[in-house]
Structures are given as structure tokens and as C-alpha cells.
Amino acid sequence: MLCPILWTAPFGLINVMRRAVPLTREDQLQRLANDDFPDWDYMPGGPGEPFEYKESDWGYLDGRLVALDYAGASDD
């Protein structure tokens, strides 16, 4: 579900991931309306969803939806 890590420094201090295309606002609203975000079932009985459903927290990588665990960068 997470955007895959290509390289990580010792202790995970730095992670390098491919850049995914963030969701558009329209796509995010449509997914919310259709309850179309992936279900998180990592730890049964654990806390709820670990990801927010903001368009900046999800993106497309090779056509599949992935959760983004990195800060967005500006194209400016």
C-alpha cells in the first residue's frame, strides 16, 4: 500500500522513494464519496487508518494507488 522504498539509510533516517503522481482534488473527492480508498488491515484490532485521505497523501505509481509517506516537493 505504501510507495515502495528504493533505498534506506541505516536506522531509516533517510528513505528514497520513486515520485508518485498525487491525486487530484476531484479524484480524492470521488474516492471519498465511493469509499474507494484501500482498507488498512495490517494489525487486526489495532488503531484505525494510519493515513489521512488528503489528495497529497495518496498518489499513482505505475497506475496503482499508493500511500505517500514523504513530504511533497514543489515543482517551482
The model's pLDDT over 3-41, given as tens digits with 9 standing for 90+, comes to 888 999 998 888 888 888 989 999 999 999 998 888 776
Residue 23: other Cβ atoms inside 10 A = 22
Going by pLDDT thresholds of 50, 70 and 90, the confidence category of residue 55 is confident
Q: What's the chain's length in residues?
A: 76
Residues 30 and 55: their CA atoms lie apart, in Å, by 11
Residues 11 and 6: their CA atoms lie apart, in Å, by 15
- The pTM (predicted TM-score) of the whole model is 0.70
Q: Determine how β-strand 21-22 pairs with β-strand 15-17.
A: unpaired
